[in-house]
Structure 1
Amino acid sequence: MRDVSTGTEVPWHVSAFRLGPEEAGAAESVALIRELRARILFDRGRRPDFRTADGSYADDQDLDFGAWHFIARRKAGGRPLGYVRLSTPETGELFQTRAYLGADRYEEVLREYGFGAAETFEHSRLVVEHRARKLGLGVYLNAFAIAAARRLGAKAMIGTSGTADGQDRFHERFGFRPLPGTRRYVERYTEDVLVMLYQAAARQTGEYADVIERLEEDFEYATVPLQQAGLAAAVDACEPAATETRLPVGAAAARRALDGTGEADGVWRPVIFDLGREADRNGLEELLASGEVRQVLDTIDEQLIELVNSREPALRSSPRSVERAVAEQLGGVPAHDYGVWVWYPWSGRLVHLLPRGEFRLVRTDRNRGRIERPEQRRLLGRRVGIIGLSVGNSAALTFAMEGIGGAFKLADFDALSVSNLNRLRAGVHHVSLNKCVIAARQMLEIDPWLDIEVFPSGLTDETMEEFFTGGGGPVELLVEECDTPYVKIAARERARALGIPVVMDANDRGLLDVERFDLEPDRPLLHGRLGDTTSRDLADLTPQEAVDVILTMVDRERISPELSASISRIGVTLSSWPQLASGVALGGALTADAARRILLGLPRPSGRFYTDLELLTAADRSTLA
Structure 2
Amino acid sequence: MSTDGVGFGVPWQVSAFQLPAEAPGAAELVTRIRELRARILFDGGRRPDFRDGEDYVDDQELDFGAWHFVGRREADGPPVGYVRLSTPQTGRLFQSRAFLGEGPFEDLLTEEGLGTAETFEHSRLVVEHRARKLGLGVHLNAMAIAAARCLGAKAMIGTSGTADGQDLFHERFGFRPVPGTRRYVERYTEDVVLMLYRAARGAGEYTALVEQLEPVFSTITVTPERALGDLPRAHGRAGSSAVTIPAPGADRRMDAEVWRPVLFEPQRAEDRGELDALLASGQVREVCDTIEEQLRELVRSREPGRKLAGAELERAVGEQLAGVDPASYGVWAWYPWSGRLVHLLPREEFRLVRTDRNRGRIERPQQRELMARRVGVIGLSVGSSAALTFAMEGIGGAFKLADFDDLSLSNLNRLRAGVHHMGLNKCVISARQMLEIDPWLDIEIYPAGLTDENMPEFFSGGHGPIDLLVEECDTPYVKIAAREHARRLGIPVVMDANDRGLLDVERFDLEPERPLLHGILGETTSADLLDLTFDQIVDLILTMVDRERISPELAASIPQIGKTLSSWPQLASGVALGGALTAEAARRILLGQPRPSGRFYTDLELLTRADRSTVA
C-alpha distance in structure 2 between counterparts of 1:266 and 1:552, whole Å: 38
Task: State whether residues 262 and 346 of structure 1, in contact with CA within 8 Å, keep that contact through their aligned partners in structure 2.
Answer: no
| Structure 1 residues 459-478: aligned runs within 5 Å | 459-478=450-469
Distance in 2 between residues matched to 1:303 and 1:398, nearest whole Å = 23
Q: SS where residue 478 of structure 1 aligns?
A: strand
Secondary structure at 2:599's aligned position in 1? strand
Whether 1:599 and 2:594 are equivalent positions in the alignment is no
TM-score (norm 1): 0.58
The alpha carbon displacement at 1:316 in A equals: 3.0
SS class of match (2:307)? helix
Q: Is 2:337 the partner of 1:337?
A: no
Q: What residue number does 2:412 align with?
A: 421
Inter-partner Cα distance in structure 1 for 2:369 and 2:533: 44
**For residues 237-284 of structure 1, what are the alpha-carbon distances to aligned partners after superposition, in whole Å with 9 as ceiling and x for unaligned?**
xxxxxxxxxxxxxxxxxxxx99x9998112100000001211111111
> Which residue of 2 is the match for residue 389 of structure 1?
380
2:356 counterpart of 1:351: no
Amino acid in the other structure paired with 2:589 = I
| Superposed counterparts of 1:201-600, under 5 Å | 264-600=255-591
Count of paired positions:
370
Q: Aligned residue for 1:610?
A: 601
Distance 2:403 2:549 in 1: 28
Aligned partners of 1:509 and 1:560 also within 8 Å = yes
Output one character per residue of 1:81-135: Cα deviation in whole Å (capped at 9) or x when no partner: xxxxxxxxxxxxxxxxxxxxxxxxxxxxxxxxxxxxxxxxxxxxxxxxxxxxxxx
Cα shift at 1:470: 0.5
Could you list the per-position Cα deviations for residues 325-372 of structure 1 after superposition, in whole angstroms to 9, with x for gaps in the alignment? 100000110000000000000000000000000000000000000000
Cα distance change, pair 281–308 in 1 and its aligned pair in 2 (3 A): same
The one-letter code matched in structure 2 to 1:342 is A
Q: CA contact under 8 A between 1:340 and 1:353: conserved in structure 2? A: yes
State the shift of 1:313 in Å: 1.3
CA offsets 1:386-419 (integer angstroms, 9 cap, x no match)? 0000000000000000000000000000000000
Structure 1: tracts of 5 or more residues without a match:
1-206, 209-256
- The RMSD of aligned alpha carbons is 1.8
The within-5 A match list for 1:78-97 is: none
* Distance in 2 between residues matched to 1:261 and 1:444, nearest whole Å: 20
CA contact (8 A) 1:410 1:452 kept: yes
What is the distance in 2 between the residues matched to 1:476 and 1:483? 22
Aligned mates of 1:262, 1:326 — CA distance in 2: 44
Q: Which residue of 1 aligns with 2:84?
A: none
CA distance in 2, matches of 1:320, 1:559: 61
Q: Give the share of equivalent positions with the same residue, in percent.
A: 77
Q: Is the 8 A contact 1:266 1:434 kept in 2?
A: no
CA distance in 2, matches of 1:606, 1:400: 24
Give distance in 2, aligned partners of 1:358 and 1:263: 34
TM-score of the aligned structures, taking structure 2 as reference length: 0.59
- Aligned partners of 1:493 and 1:525 also within 8 Å: yes
SS of 1:384's partner is: strand
Supply the distance in 2 between the matched residues of 1:455 and 1:263 (Cα, whole angstroms). 17
Counterpart code for 2:455: M
What SS does the corresponding residue of 1:454 show, helix, strand or coil? strand
Deviation at 1:318, TM superposition (A): 3.1
Decide whether the 8 Å contact of 2:300 with 2:308 is kept in 1.
no
Give the letter aligned to residue 388 of structure 1. G
Distance 1:427 1:261 in 2: 16
Q: What SS does the corresponding residue of 1:553 show, helix, strand or coil?
A: helix
Q: Is the 8 A contact 1:502 1:515 kept in 2?
A: yes
Change (3 A) 1:261 1:543: closer
Partner of 2:196: none
SS in 1 for 2:399: strand
8 Å CA contact 2:377–2:383 kept in 1: the answer is yes
How far 1:317 sits from its partner (Å)?
A: 4.8
Partners of 1:286 and 1:543 lie apart in 2 by: 54
Partners of 1:317 and 1:537 lie apart in 2 by: 65
Deviations 1:520-556 (A, max 9, x none): 0000000001000000100110011000000000000
Contact 2:476 2:541 in 1 (8 A): yes
C-alpha separation in 2, matches of 1:510 and 1:273: 43
Distance 1:312 1:489 in 2: 50
Q: Distance in 2 between matches of 1:311 and 1:472?
A: 32
The 3-state SS of whatever aligns with 1:448 is coil
Unaligned segments of structure 2, at least 5 residues: 1-234, 237-247
Counterpart-to-counterpart distance in 2, 1:453 and 1:321: 44
How far 1:315 sits from its partner (Å)? Answer: 3.5
Name the amino acid aligned to 1:557: E
Q: Which of structures 1 and 2 has the bigger CA Rg?
A: 1
Range moving further from structure 2, 581-590 or 306-315: 306-315
Q: 1:621 to 1:265 in 2, by over 3 A?
A: same
Cα deviation 1:18-46 (Å, max 9, x = unaligned): xxxxxxxxxxxxxxxxxxxxxxxxxxxxx
**Counterparts of 1:563 and 1:266, CA distance in 2:** 37
The SS at the match of 1:547 is helix
Q: What is the letter of the counterpart of residue 470 of structure 2?
A: V
> Could you tell me how far apart the structure 2 residues matched to 1:262 and 1:349 are?
20
Q: Single out whichever of 555-564 and 281-290 deviates more from structure 2.
A: 281-290
**Alpha-carbon separation, structure 2, partners of 1:526 and 1:294:** 49
Q: Which amino acid aligns with 1:561?
A: P
CA distance in structure 1 between the aligned counterparts of 2:360 and 2:381, rounded to whole angstroms: 31
Task: Quote the Cα distance in structure 2 between the aligned partners of 1:318 and 1:424.
Answer: 41
In the alignment, is the contact (CA less than 8 A) between 1:506 and 1:512 conserved in 2? Answer: yes
Counterpart of 1:603 in 2: which secondary structure? coil
Matched-pair contact (CA < 8 Å) for 1:263–1:346: no
SS in structure 2 at match of 1:490: helix
Q: What residue identity is the alignment partner of 1:609?
A: F
Letter in 2 for 1:382: R
Structure 2 CA distance for aligned equivalents of residues 312 and 263 of structure 1: 46
